[in-house]
Structure 1
Amino acid sequence: MRGFFVYYLKILWAFLVINESIASVTKLSPENVYKKILSLRSLPFEDCGSLYNVNYLNIESCSKVPCSMTRNSTVKVTVLFDDNGNGVSFLKHEVRWVFTYLKTKAAISPDPCDGDHNCILNVNESKSYWANIYVNPTLPVMRGSMLWEAKDENNKNLICFEVPVVITE
């Protein structure tokens, strides 16, 4: 009798799990499905206090962390985020290389990202921006991170993420 009861509980549990999965899938709009797929293809990053949800991060020539970045090169960074319908059209970047006890400012272009540079785009119901980061030839050859903050005209932090990197020759 005990074996039958355990078998019955397993069937009930499987039914509940499947039912919950089906219910959650049917609630997704095409836009949410698109965002979910993008988030699965995104480079892993640590959010450090973004006001807006970052859905996708792409760093040119980087498919896994830590991202290998060669000194004296320029790397394109692309971010897809939700601006909650606020019509973001200006981003001032503050990007720093962080190594153990050393933080140094990175050179970004275009900065600011505004209507003059075609770096902020509307993508479905989200926003996308791109910028190029210069990997300074004086950076130490070692592991660290890239800390990226994007602020509005009033210096309010809208997007903040950190990605592990390794600087190479």
Structure 2
Amino acid sequence: MRGAYMDYYLKIFLVICAVHQITSGVIKSTTDAAYKKYLSLRSLPFEDCASSTSSLYQVSYLDIESCTTLPCSMARNATIKVTVRFDDNGNGVSFLKHEVRWVFNYIKTQAAITPDPCDGDHGCIMSATDGKAYWANVFVNNTLPVMKGSMLWESKDANDQNLICFQVPVVITV
């Protein structure tokens, strides 16, 4: 008789544990989804060009120093910090080589980025609650035309494989 009660209570305990496991997973995924939505609402709007370049990771958040509206106003001879969050699908990204170009009327001009590459020596890649984040500084060359265009940012791994791609409208000022 006593064994029957123990089996009964053991089954109840296992059901409670299973329900707890299921609900905690739902709560965690709901919390993660809410946090990602919060980040996207705080992010500067950008065009994700991942599909056109077969990039592996999608950007979830973009911050360009002193840019709150589009197009981003960027003064010549300025150095501007860019911060990006992305989901690396648990791959532990630790190296990013940047290819950043200014695009004006379909003409592309290479931008100067520091640090490049972004690796363990520079502390520019950080773990975030929802993947990875990195920062880099882009230099706005004084020879760029004073006009509207865009900044096209691609990040590649050590094997030159596209990982991240985004584009942002900019206006170069004096």
Q: Percent identity?
A: 72
Distance 1:47 1:53 in 2: 7
1:56-95 alignment runs, 5 A limit: 56-95=61-100
Q: Tell whether 2:170 aligns with 1:165.
A: yes
After superposition, give the CA deviation of every residue in 1:7-55 in whole Å (9 maximum; x if it has no partner). Answer: xxxxxxxxxxxxxxxxxx9785222211110001101111112321211
Q: Tell whether 2:142 aligns with 1:153.
A: no
Distance 1:123 1:74 in 2: 25
Distance 1:128 1:27, change over 3 A: closer
Q: Tell whether 2:127 aligns with 1:126.
A: no
Name stretches of at least 5 consecutive residues in structure 1 with no aligned partner: 1-24
2:22 is matched with which residue? none
- SS of 1:29's equivalent in the other structure is helix
Amino acid at match of 1:79: V
CA RMSD of aligned residues (A): 1.5
Distance 1:102 1:30 in 2: 43
TM-score normalised over the length of structure 1: 0.82
CA contact (8 A) 2:36 2:130 kept: no
Question: After TM superposition, what 4+ stretches of structure 1 lie above 4 angstroms from structure 2?
Answer: 25-28
2:32 is matched with which residue? 31
Q: Tell whether 2:107 aligns with 1:107.
A: no
- SS of 2:136's equivalent in the other structure is strand
Distance 2:28 2:89 in 1: 19
Distance 1:26 1:116 in 2: 37
Deviation at 1:153, TM superposition (A): 0.5
Q: Considering only CA atoms, is the larger Rg found in Structure 1 or Structure 2?
A: 2
Deviation at 1:101, TM superposition (A): 3.5
Amino acid at match of 1:157: N
TM-score normalised over the length of structure 2: 0.80
